[in-house]
Amino acid sequence: MGYGLPRTHNDDHGVYYYDGESWTDHLTLGGPVDIRCMAVDKENAVWVGTDNGVWSYIDGEWRQYTDENAPTGRIHLSVVGGNDTMWIVDYSGNTFSYDGSEWQQHGFLGGKNCIAEDNNGNLWIGTDNGVYRYTPDPVTNAVNREPAPESIALIASPNPFNPATTIAFTIPEYGPATLTVYNLAGQKVRTLLDTPMSAGSHTIVWDGTDGTGRSVAAGVYLTRLMAGDMKATGKMAFIK
């Protein structure tokens, strides 16, 4: 018995349940379509990533999540953590978690291809640039969280770097944020981030390539973070 994603005769895509004898079509029950990934937690709640965000099937009812910070675009990957925290990665490379009460965004890491959680609660992410481990901050994920930072900050490490550097930044409140790399002539090299972000600390990896995927020349580059009315600028050196 279980849930599946078979292709129907008219090429619709939705959620189906197999009880060992027959399939139940959840399209007729108000379920989502255009499914990209699926996970089931310990309470047998079904979590579905679609082209239009995240849905769940709990106690016989489908629900689409449109809460603040919830992913609303095309979902790429999903996994249920050991404490039933739902982890979601969208097609832009943004990572989200849902603890049953609210959504959090945990930054951007481009080219994500697979995701898994180990027994210690660490999140392992396979990307186009290698494997990364993300350890959720117990303070950040606690019910009583530390106050959000009052200003934005930006730092890259390692610096100088080759082949990649991790850019850490803080945002004081939820809202649109952009992180862009420029050369010293003021020309835009690549936009690393252009999406709403939650308040708090985030990281993003730059692999030394431009917007077309080509490696940039060795030299000094500027990073500019804009969040609301605030902005921060940093420098980093790419070496070969």
Whether 24 and 125 share a structural domain: yes
Condensed to tens digits (0 to 9), the pLDDT of residues 182-192 reads 999 999 999 99
What is the model's pLDDT at position 1? 44
119 or 5, higher pLDDT: 119
What is the model's pLDDT at position 111? 60
Condensed to tens digits (0 to 9), the pLDDT of residues 5-56 reads 443 333 446 777 777 787 777 665 677 878 888 888 877 788 888 888 888 8
Q: Is the peptide bond before 196 cis (omega within 30 degrees of 0)?
A: no
- In b/e form, how buried is each residue of 136-158, taking b as 16+ CB within 10 angstroms? beeeeeeeeeeeeeeebebebee
Which structural domain range is residue 230 located in?
A: 153-238
What is the model's pLDDT at position 136? 63
| Pairwise CA distance, residues 47 & 15, whole Å | 11
- How far is residue 8 CA from its own chain's centroid? 30
Give the closest residue to 112 by CA, choosing from 120, 104, 123.
123
Q: Report the pLDDT averaged over residues 105-122.
A: 70
Whether 96 and 61 share a structural domain: yes
Whether 124 and 19 share a structural domain: yes
149 or 122, higher pLDDT: 122
What is the model's pLDDT at position 9? 33
| Pairwise CA distance, residues 66 & 54, whole Å | 8
Condensed to tens digits (0 to 9), the pLDDT of residues 68-110 reads 778 888 887 677 766 667 888 887 777 888 877 788 877 655 5
3-state SS string over 102-141?
A: CEEEEEECCCEEEEEECCCCCEEEEECCEEEEECCCCCCC
Within-domain flag for 114: yes
pLDDT higher than 60, residue 115: yes
Is the model's pTM score more than 0.85? no
| Total number of domains constituting the chain | 2
| Pairwise CA distance, residues 135 & 142, whole Å | 14
- Assign residue 183 the CATH number of its domain: 2.60.40.4070
Whether 127 and 161 share a structural domain: no
